[in-house]
């Protein structure tokens, strides 16, 4: 495995033998069974690592070690149903596997050849059990381009990557002229997946053709709270991202690539390190790659907890060891970037898509998607949605398809209220936007933006003013503090929102908020401040009545804002059992009348003293009779 690959021929030979090997594994041609576990962050936190060890242990104990292998791969995407275990060659998918299920899977399936029925996914609509991944509704509308290899290959094994098309795009690129590589990417219509959607080929073409150092930087900061696309890609197939970086590096004439990854992503960082090491050992990084005169080195830099460092110029400052304060543009990084040299900054998903374009051709990529947004987009579906997870759908998929077909709808029979795309820079889309095909321009027209792909679904229990306040709090925390409109303006907006959610707002506050929001947008120095007011503007546009209810009626229609709601006991439903009173930290629950109650009679109902109640919500979950509600 540590043989150096020094020419295109050697690469091809290695790819075909690895691919054979991988196929044998999936199809059972090697005569073995293969247990594959999800090693993504979601599943790891539900003990998939221990489950894997348990498998190894049990398999060894039963003397199956030479007939069964146990492997770990990246995120399957369907995180809310994890941890997952897949058995090849049958391709059976078990979900929500626990430690105590391991014996049974080994006995029943691996030894007995029977499927463990109770661990299969159940389609919530039909109630039927589904044994194979591809038959699950969640996966049906997805196309995996950026996620190629994720959840399929062992991200720590370069041979599995080689077996799954890795470096085919690179090899193709290295045989082309640099300009032709850029042209190919231009033709594909690929737009940056980091947020703004700037055409990647155009960005590459801006890097001047001058001597001296140039850099390609991969933006893996992924600061959008509630998004984990880039993390999953780095964890699931780091080789693809490095390959994309190398193709970009070749195209712009860079010799060094920098990964800037959030320190909160230790698994991603570790897998990236291993991948770089493996590629160096294989001669795929370093001098004269594949016998060409292209030399490239990859470095890793860790973020240290600052959202604004996702902004490209702040990111460059951070790599340079400075405070992550954005720089004014121009000069653009393409002209004057890292250490003053021409630099191109690309997002993880963008780079993960590039190998596909070279490998399969621009035309094929461009055949997917809408007129102005080509290809697919990865979303991290989260919030109030059944199928929380990582999905990749073609551009042009409608929000309805995303939420109801892929996402499986809203849990608990609740009403859909809004979906926030674009994170703190984006906006809320509502019922009326459900038929909007998702692409860069449509989302902007609808008052939100694509952003990096976070998609948080909210239901009737979410208060939109509270959500706007949540984002503004986030922005205030994360503003770098450099420029006055953002540093002070966002604080002032937060103060107004806080007043409103506390029932102290006035109608003038709403006007002031609107005016401030538009000024902060126009006056701020970087994208963070320029987009910070979006959540406010979009919720004010779609949910003005909620704002007005807070201000005029002093009510929070969703019963979220503590000052504007109260807990009440329905005295007809209450049995007077006093369970709630015992758990109340504020001693706020009392008998309506403490009179003597004759034996056998219904106990008198309780009531909540709203002056004492601290609105902790403990009582509501204590009452077994559903007598307590929010108002």
Partner 1 sequence: METVNITIEGQSYQVEKGLTILEAAKKCGYEIPSLCAFNHGECSLASCRVCLVEAQEGKGPNRLVASCVYPVSEGMNVTIGSPKATAARRTSVELLLSNHNRNCQECDKNGKCELLHVAQVTGARENMYQGEQTPVTVDMLSPSIKRDTSKCILCGRCVARCQNAHGLSVLGFEKRGFNTIVGPAENRSFMDSPCILCGQCTTVCPTGALTEVSEIDKIDEAFRAGKHVVVQVAPAVRASLGEEFDYPIGTPVTGKMIAALRRLGFERCYDVNFGADLTIMEEGTELLGRIQNGGTLPMITSCSPGWINYAEYYYGDLLDHVSSCKSPHQMQGAIIKSYWAKQMGYDPADVFVVSIMPCTAKKFEKDRPEMEHDGIRDVDVVLTTRELGKMIKRSGINFKRLPDEDWDQDIMGEYTGAAVIFGVTGGVMEAALRTVYYKLTGSEYGKIEFTEVRGHDAGIREASLDINGTVVNVAIASGMKSAKVLLDQIRNGESKYHFIEIMGCPGGCINGGGQSYVKPCFLPNEDDDILDTYKEKRANALYSEDERQTIRQSHNNKQVQELYEKFLGEPNSHLAHELLHTTYNKNRERFN
Partner 2 sequence: MAHLQQSAALQIEEICSRYVNEETPLMMILSDIQKEYGYIPLEVQELVSEKTGISVAEIYGVVTFYSFFSLKPKGKNVIGCCLGTACYVKGAQQVVDKFSEILGIKPGETTDDGLFTIDALRCIGACGIAPAVQINGTVYPKMSVDQVPALIEKYRNGGNA
Ligand X SMILES: Cc1cc2nc3c(=O)[nH]c(=O)nc-3n(C[C@H](O)[C@H](O)[C@H](O)COP(=O)(O)O)c2cc1C
Cβ distance to partner 2 smaller for residue 45 or 522: 45
Pinpoint the alpha helices (H) of 141-209.
158-163, 168-174, 178-188, 200-206
C-alpha pair distances (Å), 339 with each of 215, 242, 505, 623: 10, 22, 48, 62
- 504 binds partner 1 per the rule CB under 8 A: no
Distance CA(220)–CA(301), nearest Å, equals 10
Tokens of 106: 């080994």
| Residue 486 interface partner, choices partner 2, ligand X, ligand SF4, none, CB cut-off 5-8 Å depending on type | ligand SF4
For residues 561 and 619, which CB has a smaller minimum distance to ligand SF4 in the complex?
A: 619
Q: Which of 25, 54, 68, 82 binds ligand FES (CB under 6 A)?
A: 82
328 part of the interface to partner 1, by CB under 8 A: yes
Q: Per rule CB under 8 A, is residue 491 in the interface with partner 1?
A: yes
Q: Which does 138 bind (CB under 5 to 8 A by kind): partner 2, partner 1, ligand FES, none?
A: none
Closest contact distance (angstroms) between CB of 304 and partner 1 is: 12
H or E, element range at 516? helix 507-523
Task: Please state the closest distance from residue 75 (CB atom) to partner 2, in A.
Answer: 8
What is the number of alpha carbons within 13 Å of residue 568 lying toward its C-beta?
8
Q: Taking contact as CB under 8 A, which single stretch among the options 123-131, 261-269, 479-487, 557-565 is the one that binds partner 1?
A: 479-487
Which 521-550 residues touch partner 1, going by CB under 8 A? 522-525
Tell me which of partner 1, ligand FES, ligand SF4, none is bound by residue 225, counting a contact when its beta carbon lies within the kind-specific cut-off of 5 to 8 angstroms: ligand FES
Cβ of residue 369: shortest distance to ligand SF4, in angstroms?
A: 31
Nearest approach in angstroms of CB 528 to ligand X is: 4
Map the footprint of ligand FES across residues 224-263, applying CB under 6 A: 225-226
Question: Are 368 and 394 spatial neighbours (Cβ–Cβ below 8 Å)?
Answer: yes
- Tell me the C-alpha to C-alpha distance, in Å, between residue 382 and each of 150, 406, 463, 471, 503: 19, 12, 17, 16, 29
End-to-end CA distance of the chain: 66
Q: Is residue 340 part of the contact set for partner 1 (CB under 8 A)?
A: no
- Given ligand SF4, partner 2, ligand X, none, residue 482, with its beta carbon under 5 to 8 Å by kind, binds ligand SF4
The DSSP string of 292-334 is SS--BEEEEEE--S-GGGGSHHHHHHHHTTS--PPPPSSSPTT
Shortest Cβ 202–ligand SF4 spacing (Å): 24
CB 231, min distance to partner 2, A? 4
CB 266, min distance to partner 1, A: 24
Helix (H, G, I), strand (E, B), or coil: what is residue 86?
Answer: strand
The piece of 49-57, 186-194, 345-353, 474-482 that touches ligand SF4 (CB under 6 A) is: 474-482
The listed partner (ligand SF4, ligand X, partner 2, none) that binds 524, CB under 5 to 8 Å by sort, is ligand SF4
Closest C-alpha to 72, from 49, 91, 54, 88: 49
Count of residues interacting with ligand SF4 (CB under 6 A): 42
State yes or no: residue 439 binds ligand X (CB under 6 A): no
**SS3 assignment for 10-70:** HHHHHHHHHHHHHHHHHHCCCCCEEEEEECCHHHHHCCHHHHHHHHHHHHHHCCCCCCEEE
CB of 513 to partner 1, least distance (A): 11
Q: Is 378 exposed, middle or buried (0-12, 13-18, 19+ CB in 10 A)?
A: buried
Restricting to residues 501-530, name those near ligand SF4 by CB under 6 A: 524-526, 528-529
Q: In terms of DSSP bridges, do strands 92-94 and 121-122 run parallel, antiparallel, or are they unpaired? A: unpaired
Contact 238, 155 (CB under 8 A): yes
User: Measured between alpha carbons, how far is 369 from 375 in angstroms, rounded to an integer?
Assistant: 5
Minimum distance between the CB of residue 454 and ligand X, rounded to whole angstroms? 10
Verify binding: residue 577, ligand SF4, rule CB under 6 A.
yes
Give the span between the Cα atoms of 598 and 209, in whole angstroms: 94
Q: Which residues bind ligand FES (CB under 6 A)?
A: 38, 40-43, 75-79, 82, 84, 225-226, 389
């Amino acid at each position: 495995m540590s043989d150096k690959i020094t020419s295109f021929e050697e690469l091809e030979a290695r790819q075909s033998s690895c691919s054979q090997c991988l196929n044998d594994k999936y199809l059972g041609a090697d005569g073995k069974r293969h247990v594959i576990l999800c090693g993504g962050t979601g599943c790891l936190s539900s003990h998939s690592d221990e489950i894997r060890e348990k498998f190894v242990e049990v398999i060894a104990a039963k003397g199956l070690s030479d007939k069964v292998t146990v492997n770990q791969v990246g995120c399957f995407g369907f995180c809310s149903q994890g941890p997952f275990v897949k058995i090849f060659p049958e391709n059976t998918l078990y979900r929500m596997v626990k430690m105590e299920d391991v014996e049974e899977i080994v006995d029943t399936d691996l030894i007995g050849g029977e499927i463990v029925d109770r661990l299969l996914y159940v389609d919530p609509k039909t109630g039927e059990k589904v044994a194979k991944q591809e038959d699950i509704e969640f996966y049906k509308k997805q196309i995996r381009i950026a996620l190629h290899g994720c959840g399929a290959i062992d991200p720590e094994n370069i041979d599995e990557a080689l077996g799954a098309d890795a470096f085919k795009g690179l090899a193709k690129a290295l045989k082309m002229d640099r300009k032709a590589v850029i042209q190919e990417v231009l033709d594909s219509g690929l737009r940056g997946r980091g947020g703004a959607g700037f055409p990647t080929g155009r960005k590459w073409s801006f890097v001047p053709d001058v001597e001296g150092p140039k850099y390609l930087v991969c933006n893996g900061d992924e600061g959008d709270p509630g998004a984990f696309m880039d993390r999953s890609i780095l964890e699931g197939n780091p080789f693809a991202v490095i390959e994309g970086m190398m193709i970009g590096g070749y195209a712009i004439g860079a010799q060094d690539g920098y990964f800037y990854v959030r320190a909160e992503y230790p698994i991603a960082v570790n897998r990236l390190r291993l991948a770089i090491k493996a590629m160096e050992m294989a001669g795929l990084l370093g001098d004269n790659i594949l016998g060409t005169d292209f030399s490239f080195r990859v470095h890793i830099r860790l973020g240290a907890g600052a959202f604004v460092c996702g902004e490209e110029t702040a990111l460059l400052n951070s790599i340079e060891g400075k405070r992550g304060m954005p720089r004014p543009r121009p000069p653009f990084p393409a002209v004057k970037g890292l250490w003053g040299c021409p630099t191109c900054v690309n997002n993880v998903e963008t780079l993960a898509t590039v190998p596909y374009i070279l490998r399969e051709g621009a035309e094929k990529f461009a055949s997917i998607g809408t007129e102005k947004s080509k290809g697919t987009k990865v979303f991290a579906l989260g919030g109030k949605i059944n199928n929380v997870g990582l999905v990749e759908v073609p551009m042009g998929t409608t929000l309805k398809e995303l939420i109801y077909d892929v996402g499986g709808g809203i849990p608990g029979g609740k009403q859909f209220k809004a979906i926030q795309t674009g994170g703190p820079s984006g906006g809320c889309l509502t019922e009326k936007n459900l038929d909007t095909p998702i692409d860069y321009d449509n989302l902007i027209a609808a008052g939100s933006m694509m952003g990096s792909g976070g998609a948080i679904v909210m239901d009737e229990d979410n208060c939109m003013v509270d959500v706007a306040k949540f984002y503004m709090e986030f922005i205030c925390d994360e503003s770098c503090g450099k420029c006055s409109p953002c540093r002070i303006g966002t604080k002032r907006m937060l103060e107004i929102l806080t007043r409103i959610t506390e029932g102290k707002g006035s109608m003038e506050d709403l006007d002031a908020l609107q005016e401030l929001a538009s000024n902060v947008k126009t006056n701020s120095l970087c994208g963070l401040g320029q987009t910070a007011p979006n959540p406010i503007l979009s919720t004010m546009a779609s949910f003005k009545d909620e704002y007005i209810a807070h201000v005029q009626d002093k009510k929070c229609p969703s019963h979220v804002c503590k000052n504007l709601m109260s807990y009440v006991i329905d005295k007809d439903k209450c049995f007077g059992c006093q369970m709630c009173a015992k758990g109340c930290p504020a001693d706020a629950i009392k008998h309506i009348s403490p009179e003597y109650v004759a034996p056998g009679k219904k106990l008198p109902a309780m009531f909540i003293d709203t002056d004492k109640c601290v609105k902790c919500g403990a009582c509501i979950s204590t009452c077994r009779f559903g007598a307590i509600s929010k108002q």
